[in-house]
Structure 1
Amino acid sequence: MHIPVAIIGAGLGGLVLARVLHINGIRATVYEGDASPEARLQGGMLDIHDFNGQLGLKDAGLYEQFLELIHPGGQQSRFFDKDGTLLMDNPDDGKGGRPEVQRGELRRILLESLPEDAVHWGHKLSSARSLGDGRHELIFADGQLVTTDLLIGADGAWSKVRPLLTDATPTYTGLVFFETWLNDADVHHRESAQAVGGGSMFALAPGKGIMAHCEPDGVLHAYIALRRPKAWVDSIDVSTGQLPKAALPRNSTAGLHR
C-alpha cells in the first residue's frame, strides 16, 4: 500500500497536524498502535497557552470548541513547602493566557473533526527505513507494509521514526512519578480538595514532591514524585495495576491531607 502522507501517532500533535492538513485539502493517514480511542487513559489536564497551543487550534478551526472545554478556575496554582505550609497562592483571574482543559476531551474533538478513516487503529509501527527522495517504507507489527512520500513521527518518547534523524534515545533522569486519583474529593477528601484548590498544587522537597490538579466532576489527579535509582523502579511489578505500599514512604502523601 502506498499513501502520500503518513503520521505515526494519534496523540494531540499528530491529530492537530492531520486536521490542519485536512482543512487545507491534504489527506493524511494517521497510524496509531492503540486498538481504539478508548484503549487507555489520555492523561490529565493541559494548559493551552495563547501564544502557541491556541494558535494551533485556531489554524485547525477548532478554537470555539476548545473554549467549551475550558475548566473554570483551572489556572489557579498553589505552592506548599514540605511541611504543608502555604507559600504562594496564585488565583485564576481569567487573564493568565493558559486555560486548562482535559487532554482526553481535546483529543476527542480532534478525532471527531477528521474523516472516519483518517486514523488506522491497532497499527503499531515496528520499523521505518528511507527509500530515498524523501520516501519511506513502514512495517507494522502485524506485518503490513506501507510506503509513503512524506513521513511524520508523532509517536512519543520511544519513537520509531526518530532514529531516522538522530541516535538520541530517552534517558532516565532519576525521578519516577506515581499517578493516582481521588474521586468525589469535595465530599470524601475535603482537606485535600481545599489544599489543591481549583487548579494545581505543588508540595515539593529535595528528591520528592506531590503535584495535584483539580479536574471536572470533583476529581483530584495527583502525581507523587520520588528520586530513586532505575533498579528500584524496575523491581516494582506494575502488571497488577496496584502499587505495593512498601514502595512509597509512609509520609509521601502527607501534603495532600494538610
Structure 2
Amino acid sequence: MTQIAIIGGGPGGLTLARLLQQKGKQVTVYERDKNRSVRVQGATLDLHEDSGLAALAAAGLMDAFRQHYRPGADLMRITDAAANILVDDHGQGKSEDRPEIDRGPLRELLLDSLHPGTVSWDKQFVKMEPAENGWQLEFQDGHTAYADMVIGADGANSRIRPYVTEIRPFYSGVTMVEGSVYHPETATPEIAALLKGGKLFALDGASTLIVSSKGDGSLVFYTGMYLPENWTKESGIDFNNREQVIQWFSNAFSSWSPVWHTLAQQATLPLVLRPQYCMPTDQHWEAHSNLTLIGDAAHLMPPFAGEGVNMAMLDALELSECLTSGKYTNEAAAIAAYETNMRQRAGEVAQMTLEQTESMHTEGALERMVAMFSGLPQQI
C-alpha cells in the first residue's frame, strides 16, 4: 500500500489525512510542534460553505464542528480611528453564513478523527532524497522515514516547496504586527465593549487595525500598513520591550483615539511581526508523480480576504478526491489534475486578495469598506 507522508499538521494537512484515511490510505502526518497540547496561536477562523465547510462535511465532521464553533463570533463592527461605529452586524442578529471556530478546537476535532498514531510530533523536517520509488525523509531529531508520496502542508515557509518549484513569493508591501491581550474586560475594557465577542475593523487613511475575540476570553489584534520589506529587521524596535512597543504604537497611530493605544499597553510581549507575502498569481510548474503541495505552501497570500484556511481545506478535499476517485490512470495524473485546478483557483483568489489588500491600505479605505458592507455604491 502507498505510504503517504503529509508534512505539516495544520488544518489543511489534518483535513487531508482524515479524508485519505476514510478511503483506506496509509497516512502519517509529521508535525514540528512538540505535542498536541501546544497552544495554537492566531485569530479565529471563519469557514466558508463552498470550501472549509465543504471539506468538513466530506470528512464527516460537521457534528463535531457544531459542538465547537462560536455563534456570533463572526459579527463585525467597522469603526473609524476615533472608535465611532459605522457598521454594526450586532444589530442584525447572529449571522452564521461564515461560522467561526478557534484554531485550537478545530485542530482538536481533526486530531480526534484520525487513527491513533497518525501524527508524529516534534518532527521538524530537514531534508529528503529520492529513494526507491519515493522519498527518504530526515528530521531534526534524527528520525528518518520512507514515503512513497510526500505532500507539503507546511505553510508559508514551506521546506517542501523548493523540491517542487523554484518560484518564490513576493512582498505585498504590507506588514502586520500581531498581539494578544488576556482578560480584556479588565485590561482593555473599552476595546472589549466595542468588540462584543466578535470582530472589529478599524481603518484610517492607509492604516488598519483588526481585532478578534477568542473562545478563551482573550483577544488578538493585527495592525496593518505599507512598510519597506526590510522594516522588520531594520526598524530598531524591540517588540519585547514595553516602552518601545508603546512608543512605536503611539507614533504609528498618533492620530487615533487613546482607546486603541491600550492594546499596546496591555498586550502580551513580544509582539509578532508578519510581513505579508504572496505567490505569483500565474505560477506554474511541471507536476511530479509523488510530490505536491497544499495550502500556504502552494499559494501563500495575505489574509485580507479571509481565504487562507479555506483554500487549504479545499485543497485537501480536491487532492483527496483526485487521489482516490479512480478517475485517473495513476497518481502522477491525479496530482497533475489537482495542481492544474488548484493553481488556477488560487491565482484568481490571490488576485482578489491583492486588490483587497490595496483597497484596505490606501486613502479612502474606510469609506470603501463601509460602502461594501452597507450595500452602497463604492467610490474607487
TM-score, normalization: structure 2? 0.60
8 A Cα contact 1:195 1:256, kept in partner: no
Q: Would you tell me which structure has more strand in proportion to its own residues?
A: 1
Cα distance in 1 between the residues matched to 2:57 and 2:130: 33
Deviation at 1:217, TM superposition (A): 4.5
Between 1:236-245 and 1:42-51, the stretch displaced more is 236-245
When residues 66 and 96 of structure 1 are mapped into structure 2, their CA distance, relative to the original with a 3 A threshold, is: closer
Between 1:83-92 and 1:234-243, the stretch displaced more is 234-243
Deviation at 1:189, TM superposition (A): 2.7
Residue in structure 2 matched with residue 228 of structure 1 by the alignment: 227
When residues 67 and 25 of structure 1 are mapped into structure 2, their CA distance, relative to the original with a 3 A threshold, is: same
When residues 83 and 30 of structure 1 are mapped into structure 2, their CA distance, relative to the original with a 3 A threshold, is: same
CA deviation profile, 1:147-168 (whole Å, cap 9, x unmatched): 2111111000111221222212
Cα distance in 2 between the residues matched to 1:3 and 1:141: 25
Deviation at 1:3, TM superposition (A): 7.0
2:46 partner letter: D
Cα distance in 2 between the residues matched to 1:75 and 1:234: 34
When residues 190 and 240 of structure 1 are mapped into structure 2, their CA distance, relative to the original with a 3 A threshold, is: closer
When residues 255 and 47 of structure 1 are mapped into structure 2, their CA distance, relative to the original with a 3 A threshold, is: farther
Residue in structure 2 matched with residue 39 of structure 1 by the alignment: 38
Residue in structure 1 matched with residue 162 of structure 2 by the alignment: 163
Residue in structure 2 matched with residue 103 of structure 1 by the alignment: 103
Cα distance in 2 between the residues matched to 1:181 and 1:111: 25
Residue in structure 2 matched with residue 48 of structure 1 by the alignment: 47
2:38 partner letter: A
Residue in structure 2 matched with residue 248 of structure 1 by the alignment: 249
8 A Cα contact 2:65 2:106, kept in partner: yes
Q: Would you tell me which structure has more helix in proportion to its own residues?
A: 2
2:227 partner letter: R
8 A Cα contact 1:3 1:29, kept in partner: no
Deviation at 1:239, TM superposition (A): 8.9
When residues 90 and 122 of structure 1 are mapped into structure 2, their CA distance, relative to the original with a 3 A threshold, is: same
Query: What RMSD, in angstroms, separates the aligned Cα atoms of the two structures?
Result: 2.8
8 A Cα contact 2:237 2:248, kept in partner: no
Alignment of 1:190-229 (within 5 A): 190-229=189-228
Residue 121 in structure 1 maps to residue 121 in structure 2: yes
8 A Cα contact 1:3 1:146, kept in partner: no
Deviation at 1:236, TM superposition (A): 6.1
Deviation at 1:127, TM superposition (A): 1.8
Residue in structure 2 matched with residue 27 of structure 1 by the alignment: 26
Aligned length: 256
CA deviation profile, 1:76-132 (whole Å, cap 9, x unmatched): 111122333322122364444211110111101111222331111111111234458
Cα distance in 1 between the residues matched to 2:257 and 2:16: 40
8 A Cα contact 2:71 2:96, kept in partner: no
